[in-house]
Amino acid sequence: MPTKKNLFYLQTLLLFSGVVFSWGNVLKEFKIYFAAGGQILQTAGCPVTNPIITPCFWGATAFLIALIWSSYIIQAKSTGQISNEIRLKWFLVASTIFGWGNVALEFYKYYASKMQPIVSCTGVIKSPIYAPCFTGSIIFLASLIFTSIIIKKLK
């Protein structure tokens, strides 16, 4: 049976994978945006959407916050770990709802276009299951489930 500390490390590793995946996609978006002539704080006048106003950017930011939080929990005293883990769980609940809400929007656009390729944050996709927000939502959900398991083991 894994130790409490190992569970926290596994949680942090799972969130780290979300950070790497999501920020990798956001960096691709920025590369496309700047190549199209966009400026960092410009939100109009460019043929490509500024990544700062896309759900991908905010999902990536949520992953980074959760990773920092999880890393803090590892270092926290035992008495503060459970309360911080519960707060992290609620943050992950909100992040999971945000992610799957964006996936639902992608599916809506997909079926509204009569199942033709649609434009997502990172470009044209054949189906919403190929959108980065789909993968990100799965990682958020897995993190939420894992955090719930940790809380159950801590109580």
Handedness of CA 83, 84, 85, 91 (dihedral sign): positive
CA distance 130 to 144: 22
Tally of structural domains, the chain:
1
What does the radius of gyration of the chain's CA atoms come to, in whole angstroms?
Answer: 18
Distances in Å between the alpha carbon of 42 and those of 33, 55, 115, 124? 10, 17, 32, 22
pTM for this prediction: 0.92
Instruction: State the average pLDDT over residues 111-131.
Output: 84
pLDDT tens digits, one per residue of 13-58: 999 999 999 999 999 999 999 998 989 888 888 888 899 999 999 9
Query: What number of residues does the chain have?
Result: 155
Segments forming the whole domain that contains residue 69 = 4-154
Residue 91 pLDDT grade (very low, low, confident, very high; cuts 50, 70, 90): very high
